[in-house]
Structure 1
Amino acid sequence: MVVILRQSVVGLVALLLVGLLSLAQADTSPIGVALDQRVIDLTNTLDAGTTAGLKQQLTAVEQRKGAQIAVLLVPTTGGTSIEDYANQLFRAWKLGRKDVNDGILLVVAKDDRKVRIEVGYGLEGTVTDLLAHRIIEEHITPAFRQGDYTGGVQQAVNDLIVLVDGGDLPKVAGPGLNPQAVAVLLAFIFGGVGGVLMAAGKLRWRKALIATVVLTLLVTFFTGGREWWANLFILPMTLLIAGATFGALWTARTVFYGVVGLLAYIVGLLVVDHWYVDVDFIHWLALPLGALAVIGAYWVLWMVMRSAWRTSRAGFTVRLCAAAAVYVAAGLIADAGRDGWLVAFPIASFVALFIFAKTATGAGSGSSDESSSSSSDSSSSSGSSGGGGSSGGGGASGSW
C-alpha cells in the first residue's frame, strides 16, 4: 500500500512538472519577450512620441473593432526566415480574439532589411495578401530606403487600421463577469447567511461545516475558470470570514441592519451603473458615507454630553464653557470671516468630544466604528493576449 501511494505521488509530481514545462514552452516566443504592449522596439528606432501615438491608435482600434495589431522592430531574425519568425511569434503571442483570430503582426528586421505583415485567419478576407503586399511595396519599403523608419511604420499602421475599420468583424464583447469574483461573492453571501443562522441558534456547527464543504464544491463546479483549484482554498476562508462577521453583527441588531442596508445600497449603485447610467461613486457613495460618519460622531458627542449632564451639572457647565472657548479661539485664529466660524465648529466639536468623554468615563462612554467599502474595475492591459494566434501564413513580406 505504501509503495502504491509513493508511486502515485511521484506520478502526480511528474505530471505537474510536465504540465508546467509545457505551459512555459507555450508562453515563450522566438525573441523571449512577452507581449506586454502593442509596440515593441528592440532597435531604439522609434522616438517616445511616435511609440506613444502608435499605442494609442492600436488600443483605440482594439476597443472599437476587437482586432489586435502589434508592431515589433528587431535587429535580426537570427537566421530564421522572416515568414517563419513572424508566424511563430504570432502564435506565441496569441494575437487576436479567441475563435475570431483577428490579429495582425508587423515585423521589421532592421539589420536584415526585411519586413513582414502576418495576418490571422479572421482577417485574411479583409487584409488580403495583395493588400498587405501593396502596403509594403508602396508605403513601407520606399520610406525605409530613405531612412524614414518612423514614417514607414506609421503609414503601415494607418493603412492597416483603415482596412480593419472597413472590415466586417464580430462586435466587441462587453466586459463579462469574472467567474472567480462571482464565486467569492456567492461564498460571502452564503457565509453571511450561515453566520446569522448560527448566531440565532438555527444552525449547528456540524451542519454548517457540511454545508461549507458542499457549497464550496458546488460553486467551484459551476463557476469553473482556469484557476478553479484556488476556489478550494479561497471559498472556505470567505465563508468563514463572512459567517464570523455577520454572526457578530447579529448580536447588535441596529448595527447589523445598518450594514445590510449599506450593502444593499452599494449593490443598487452597481446595478444602476452597469445597466442604466454611469454612476459617480464619489458622489453617491463616498459623500453619504461621510455624512453618516459625521452624524455618528455627533450622536456619540450627544450621548457623552448627556452622560456628563447626569453625572454633574456643574462639571457639564464648566466643560461646555471650555468647548465654547475653543470654538471662539478657533474662529479668531482662522480669521476668514463667516467661513472661518464655520470651520471652527467641527474643530470645537472634536475637542468637546474629548472634554466631555472624561466626565462620562464613570457612567460609560460611547464609541463609534467606522467602516468603508471600495470598488474597482478591471481592465485588461492593452498589451495582453486576446486568446487567438491562429495564422495560416497569410500576409506579405518585403525587403529594401
Structure 2
Amino acid sequence: MMLFVRQSVLSLLALVFIGLFCTVHAQTSPIGVSLDQRVIDLTNTLDTGFTTRLNDQLAALEQRKGAQVAVLLVPTTGGASIEDYANQLFRAWKLGRKDVNDGILLLVAKDDRKVRIEVGYGLEGTVTDLLAHRIIEEHITPAFRQGDYAGGVQQAVNDLTVLVDGGDLPRVTGPGINPQAIAVLLAFILGGIGGVLIAAGKLPWRRALIAAVVATLLLALYGGGREWPMYLLLLPLTLLIGGATFGALWLARTVFYCVIGLLLYIGGLLVVDRYVDVNFIHWLAMPLGALAVLGAYLVLWVVMRNAWKTSRVGFAVRLFAAVAMYVVAGLVADAGRDGWLLAVPITSFVALFIFGKTAGGSGSSSSGGSSGSSSSSSSSSSSSSGGGGSSGGGGASGSW
C-alpha cells in the first residue's frame, strides 16, 4: 500500500509541476515576452503613472469595442526585422478576438529607433496601412525625435482609439460559455465521483461502465456539436483520467481532502475573478508550487520514517549517501551560498528515491500524503490572449 500511495503522490506532483510550467509559460512569445499587461515597457522609459493610465484607456476601449490593443517597448529586436518581430509577437499573443482578429500591436524598438503598428485582419479596413503610416510619420516619430516617448505613444494610442471607435466591429459580448469545455469538465468531475465510489466499494463495475457510456453519449450530444464523433473518444478518456485520479486519491484520504481543498480554492479564484481582476500566476501557480514542495517533503519524511523502522543500519547508510550527494551538488554548483541553497532541493529529490526504495521493498505501510493538483491555464490580471492573433502583415513601420 505504501508503494502504491508513494507512486500515486509522485505522479500527482509531476502533474502539478507540469501544470505550473504550462501556466507560467502560457501566452509566452517565441522571443520570451509574456502578455501580462496591455502596456509593457522593457526599456524603463515610461513612468508607472503613465503606464497605468494607458492601461486603463486600452481596457476601456476593449470593453467598448472588443478590439485588443497592446503597446510594447523593447530595447532592440536583435537580428530580426521589426516587421517579423511584431508579427511573431502578434501571433504568439493571439491579439484580438477569435474569428474577429481585431488586435493591434504598437511596437517600439527604442535603441533601433524603429516603430511598428501591426494590425489584425479584422481591423485592416479600419486602420489601413496608409492611416497607420500617417500616425507614425505625423505623430509618433516627431515626438520620439524630441525624446518625448510618452507623448508619442500617447498620441498613437489616441489616434488608434479614434479609428477603432469609429470602426464597424462586432458587438462586445460577455464571456461566453464554451459547451465543449463544459462537457470535458463535467466528464472529469463525473469520472472523479465514480472513481471515489468505486474505490469506496459503493459502485459496482458494471453500473459504473453503464453510467460512463450514458454520460459519454449525453455529453457528446451536448458539447460535441459537429465534432461529436471526436468527443466519443475524448470523453471516455477524460472520465477514465478523472476516475483513476480521484480513485487513487481516495486511498490516501489526507491527499484526497487536500486536493479537494485546492479545487475549492481554484473555484473561489474563478468566482472572484468575475468581479475583481485576479493575477492567476500569483494567486494560483505560486501557492500550488509551495504546496507541492511541502507535499514532497512530507512524502520524504514518511519514507525516511519507514526506512528507520525497517533497518537502522540501512537508514544510516542512506542518510550518509544523501549527505554526500548534498556535498557533491554544492561543490558542483560552485556558486557560493546560493549554490549550497540550490543543492537542498536537488538532494531532497534524490533522497526521496534513496529512502523510498527501502520503504517500497519492505511491504510496510504508513499513512501520509501530499497535496497536488494540476493547474489550469493562466490568466493575467491586466490583459490576456483574446484568441485572435491573425495578421497578414497589415500596418506600417517607421524610424526616427
Deviates more, 1:207-216 or 1:117-126: 207-216
Aligned to 1:43: 43
Q: Which amino acid aligns with 1:234?
A: G
Preserved CA contact (<8 Å) 2:191 2:239: no
Task: Find the aligned partners of 1:146 and 1:56 in 2 and give their Cα distance.
Answer: 26
Relative to structure 1, the CA distance from residue 72 to residue 231 in structure 2 (aligned partners, 3 Å threshold; closer, same or farther) is farther
CA distance in 1, matches of 2:396, 2:41: 21
Task: State the shift of 1:92 in Å.
Answer: 1.9
Task: Show CA shifts across 1:43-72 (max 9, x none).
Answer: 001111111111112122122211111111
1:135 paired to 2:148: no
Instruction: Give the letter aligned to residue 393 of structure 2.
Output: G
SS at match of 1:95: coil
Is 1:234 the equivalent of 2:242?
yes
1:161 pairs with 2:161: yes
For 1:257-296, what aligned pairs fall within 5 Å after superposition? none
Q: Conserved in 2, the CA contact under 8 Å of 1:180 and 1:231? A: no
Unaligned stretches of 5+ residues in structure 1: 1-23, 197-202, 242-269, 279-377
| C-alpha distance 190-49 of structure 1, shift in aligned 2 (>3 A) | same
Query: How far is the alpha carbon of 1:143 from its aligned partner?
Result: 1.0
Instruction: Output the amino acid matched with 2:109.
Output: A
Q: 1:119 and 2:127 equivalent? A: no
The CA deviation string for residues 171-215 of structure 1, in whole angstroms up to 9 with x for no partner, is 12322224444555588789999x99xxxxxx9835422223214
SS at match of 1:116: strand
| 1:162-311 equivalent positions in 2, closer than 5 A | 162-178=162-178, 179-181=180-182, 184=185, 205-218=204-217, 221-222=220-221, 223=223, 230-234=238-242
What per-residue deviation string (whole Å, max 9, x for no partner) do you get for residues 99-147 of structure 1? 2111100000101111110111110110011111111111111111111
Structure 1 runs of 4+ with >6 Å offset? 24-27, 186-193, 235-241
TM-score (norm 2): 0.51
Name the residue aligned to 2:98.
Answer: 98
Mapped to 2, the partners of 1:190 and 1:26 lie a distance apart of: 27
Q: Per-residue deviation at 1:168?
A: 0.4
209-218 vs 115-124, which moves further: 209-218
Aligned to 1:145: 145
Q: Which amino acid aligns with 1:72?
A: L
Q: Which is further off, 215-224 or 152-161?
A: 215-224
Of 90-99 and 118-127, the range deviating more from structure 2: 90-99
Which structure would you say has the larger Rg? Answer: 1
- The change in CA–CA distance for 1:379 and 1:90 in structure 2 (over 3 A counts) is closer
Determine the C-alpha separation between the residues in 2 that align with 1:189 and 1:25.
30
CA 1:119–1:238: 2 relative to 1, 3 Å: same
Distance 1:128 1:391, change over 3 A: same
Q: Which amino acid aligns with 2:242?
A: I
| Aligned-CA RMSD value | 4.0
Letter in 2 for 1:214: V
TM-score normalized by the length of structure 1 = 0.51
Give the conservation status (yes or no) of the 8 Å contact 1:184–1:235.
Answer: no
For the structure 1 residues 396 and 176, does the alpha-carbon distance in structure 2 shift closer, same or farther, using more than 3 Å as the test?
same
Query: Closer, same or farther in 2 for the Cα pair 1:216/1:83, shift >3 Å?
Result: same
CA distance in 1, matches of 2:191, 2:389: 40
1:191–1:111 Cα change, 3 Å: closer
The 1-side partners of 2:247 and 2:127 are apart by 52
Confirm or deny: 8 A CA contact 2:115 2:398 kept in the other structure: yes
The SS at the match of 2:116 is strand
Gaps of 5+ in 2: 1-23, 225-230, 250-270, 276-377
